Amino acid sequence: MRNLSQGRTVHLLDVENLVGAPRPASDEVATMMSLYRRRVPTGGMDQYVAAVNHGALLPVGLVLTGIQILVRSGRDGADEALREVIRLDRLDVRFERVVIGSGDGVFTDLADWLRGRGVDVVVVSRPDALSNRLRRTAGRVIPLDLPLDLAA
């Protein structure tokens, strides 16, 4: 039986964490996504899943067209939506690499679980938002810090 995960990557984006705002504006999301695409290696078969709270749906949805967007309100709602996707959608058997676009420590156990099943786990995070536990658990970390010309 052919390994269906071979060469496949899924990007799980905690948009609010990557932008650094609970209700990011569309221009902030566009800047973040542009930087993400420049820093993170991608392939033609990559899939993207983004999660946001209900208050961020419109500005995020206007920018992230063609990307599956999950909406969950409440404290850590976006995190919980992404955590469910990891287990319920069986990402461990469907993808060779899982890119977690968040620095939240809540993803540490799932990153460890995925790595234990042979999945390459990459974490993309703003350096100031990266949990030490998640940094140690990830196979690789890609910093998503704004270049000086964009941060000003």
Position 152 in a domain: no
Looking at residue 135, its pLDDT comes to 96
Position 13 in a domain: yes
Position 122 in a domain: yes
Strand ranges for the chain from DSSP E: 9-14, 47-52, 68-71, 97-101, 120-125, 140-143
Position 151 in a domain: no
Which SS3 state, helix, strand or coil, does residue 75 take?
coil
CATH number, position 133? 3.40.50.1010
Packing angle of the helix pair 108-116, 77-88 (nearest 10 deg): 10
Contact 135, 104 (CB under 8 A): no
Looking at residue 4, its pLDDT comes to 59
pLDDT in tens, 56-112: 899 899 999 989 999 988 778 888 888 888 878 888 889 999 999 999 999 999 999
Domain count, the chain: 1
pTM: 0.89
Domain span at residue 100 reads 9-146
Nearest CA among 140, 85, 139 for reference residue 112: 139
Residue of higher predicted confidence among 138 and 147: 138
Question: Residue 150 pLDDT more than 50?
Answer: no
Rounded to the nearest integer, the mean pLDDT of the chain is: 88
d(CA 147, CA 152): 9
